[in-house]
Structure 1
Amino acid sequence: MSTTSKAFVTALDNHGIGLVSGVPCSYFGGPISELAHWPDIPYVPAANEGTALATAAGSRLAGRPAAVIAQNSGFGNLVNPLTSLVLPYQIPVLVFVSMRGWPKASSGEPQHHWMGRVVPDWLDSLDVPHRMLLPDGPGLDEVLEETRPVLASGRPAFVLVAKGAVQDETVVGTPDAGTRPADGGLPDRDDLVKAVLAEVGPEFVFSTTGYLSRSLFNQGDRPRNFYMQGSMGHVASLALGSALARPSERFVVLDGDGSVLMHMGALTTVGHFAPPNLVHVLFDNQVYDSTGGQATTASTTEFDTIARGSGYRRVQYVASTTAVRPAIQDAFRAEGPTLLVVRGRAGGAAGERASGAVTVPEIARRFSAELTAGQVPLS
């Protein structure tokens, strides 16, 4: 029987969990919403899954049992602190991992194919105990009881959560743009993409995973667009590699605050190599829109200050719809790397994935063919 969001958090409370850290997944949208106002269990939004695990481990060292909420696509971020911190130091942490792409990835989300298959095997190879939470299997209370002796032995315990095993009592979605009057004239993601497309000519555009890529595809699909699905936090590094390899071309990055936070060290690498042909546009709506609108930590992060200190040649901040297009024009005229931070609002229709019409390998092939003058180095 599926576990409701409230029952999920209640079970954590009854199990003695005193802190939860994580990176959101739509499978856990309901529990994270519950945790936002749960009196005894603070929720710590983490930059990535590895920092979530380290945060939970630190809480446990201080005597407060902790749990992690993560998506299996970010399991790779967990591996380092799992194998070099939690396991050797014998710090017992409870870890929930959503099993996206299990038992089979959908045709529109091929990025979940591998992680949907390998997480149980990887945990077995590390001798890390794990249990599966299924919609029609034992309930969460029973599964958590099975983790008690594991945690008591000083080992981490993983609970792998199948789709539908946790049911939200309410519809989890991004805030409706019309219900946020405090945002005033802040642009939404479609406003930003429209402004970029109005100025783009021969430039190559990389868009981060999630709704920005959907908006770019639906407003102006072109072979010179590269839509990221998965690989959250790596779009700036991807663009940096292309910008250094092809200095005669101009590259535009459409990024999000959650994505930049996940691997913010990439800003220092971009700033160090300072490619003049790179324009980095950061849409800062301060939520993870595609997983249910959970808050990021961007409200206390000055991305423009960080980029300037990292070596970006030009940095600009705008916070109104009317200012976006002139700022894009200025960024295209300037010598890069440029960071344009656009303070935006959450919500709006998601649109269709690019992979529903163009396969992910074809997105890469046609982009590379344009960039290499038809040499098509990708098989």
Structure 2
Amino acid sequence: MTISAQGMVETLTAHGYQLATGVPCSYFAGPLRLLEQGAGPPYVAAANEGGAVAIAAGAQLGGHRPVVLAQNSGFGNMINPLTSLVLPYGIAMTVMVSMRGWPTASAGEPQHRWMGQVVPGWLDSMGIAHWMLTADGPALEELLLRAQPVLDAGLPAFVLVAKGAIADDAPAGKPAAPPAELPTRDDVVSAVLQEAGDAHLLSTTGYLSRSLFNLGDSDRNFYMQGSMGHVASVALGAALANPRRRFVVLDGDGAVLMHAGSLATIGDLAPANLTHVVFDNGVYDSTGGQRTGGQQTDFAGMALACGYRRAWRVDSTDELRSALRTALTNDGPCAIVVRCASGAPTGERASNSVSVQELSDRFRKSLATAPVAEAGDGSAS
């Protein structure tokens, strides 16, 4: 039987969990809303899934009982702290992982195919106990009781959560009033398209890629589905391989936080042909609007500290377009951080119309056939 969002939070509380941490998934949207509103244990938004495991480890060492909530697409980020920290040090924790792509991935989300199948086998290979929570299987209460002897032995225990096992029935809290007249996601993407010219555009996973596809699909665009936090690194590799082309990255604040070390790599290598636009709305829109945990982060300052040549923080499309014109006619790397409104509607994902293999093939071909910029025209040298 599907457990309600309130029922899940009450079950965790009844079992003595004192801290929850993780990276959002829409499967947990209801419980996460309640946790962020103060119901149940305090919730800590981690930058990535490995960080969530480490936060939980610290909480357990400090005497608190932790639970991690995460999506299976980020399970790979957990492997290092699980194998080099949690298991050898004997740190008990409960980890609830949503099983996207299980039992099969949808045609439009091929990025979930592998993690939808391999997580149970990988857990078995590490000797980590796990159980599946489904709408018609054993209740969460029963699975947590089964996990207790494992936790008592100083080991982690995983509950794998199928789609529909947890209801998204928690009432939305009263949203904070956004600052007036902040641009929407589509406003930002439209402004980038107006200024980008023949630059190659790479967009992060989630709604930014949907907006770019629906507003200005092109063979020069590369849409990330999955691999959250890595689009800037993909753009870096492409920029280094093609120093005579221009590249613009459309990134999200949560994605930048997830693998912020890429800023240092970009700054160190200083590709002159790379412009990094960060959509900063403070939430993970595509999983339900949960806070990113980066509300105090100065992304423009981070970029400058990492070696970017220029960085702007803007809150209007006019300012964004002005900054883009400067960035695209001077040597980079440059960063433009745009304060944005959250929650704007979006269209369908690119892979509903074009296969991800075709997306990568056409992007590759566009680089092979793009005209080479002439020196002195504002292109990177």
Q: TM-score, normalised to structure 1's length?
A: 0.95
Q: How far did 1:83 drift?
A: 0.3
Deviation at 1:180, TM superposition (A): 6.5
Shift of 1:38: 3.0
1:207 — aligned with what?
203
Map 1:146-225; keep pairs closer than 5 Å: 146-170=146-170, 181-225=177-221
**SS of the residue aligned with 2:8?**
helix
Matched, 1:132 2:132: yes
Q: Aligned to 2:308, what secondary structure does the other structure show?
A: coil
Which amino acid is the alignment partner of residue 225 of structure 2? Q
Unaligned runs of 5+ in 1: 375-379
Once the two structures are TM-superposed, the CA of residue 142 in structure 1 deviates from its matched residue by 0.8
Please say which of residues 225-234 and 35-44 is displaced more in the overlay: 35-44
Matched, 1:233 2:229: yes
Equivalence map 1:1-379=2 (5 Å): 1-38=1-38, 41-170=41-170, 181-373=177-369
Check the 8 A contact 1:284/1:298 in 2, yes or no: no
Runs of at least 4 residues off by over 3 Å: 170-173, 179-182
Equivalent position SS for 1:349:
coil
Compute the displacement of 1:11 (Å): 0.7
Alpha-carbon separation, structure 2, partners of 1:270 and 1:7: 45
Q: Distance in 2 between matches of 1:141 and 1:180?
A: 34
SS at match of 2:88: coil
**What runs of 5+ residues in structure 2 fail to find an aligned partner?**
371-381
Residues 31 and 170 in structure 2, CA contact (< 8 A), matched pair in contact too: no
The whole-number CA distance in structure 1 between the counterparts of 2:171 and 2:160 is: 23
Q: Show the counterpart of 1:377.
A: none
Mapped partners of 1:321, 1:365: distance in 2:
32
CA distance in 1, matches of 2:185, 2:258: 19
> CA-to-partner distance for each residue in 1:38-87, whole Å, 9 max, x for gaps?
35511000000000000001000011010100100000000000000000
Q: Deviations over 1:112-155 (max 9, x none)?
A: 00000000000001110000000011111111111100100110
Contact 1:307 1:339 (8 Å CA) reproduced: yes
Tell me how far apart the structure 2 counterparts of residues 144 and 180 of structure 1 sit (CA, whole Å). 35
Aligned residues of 1:185 and 1:321 also touching (Cα < 8 A): no
Aligned residues: 370
TM-score, normalised via structure 2 length: 0.95
2:282 and 2:293 in contact (8 A); partners too: yes
Cα distance in structure 1, aligned partners of 2:346 and 2:171: 15
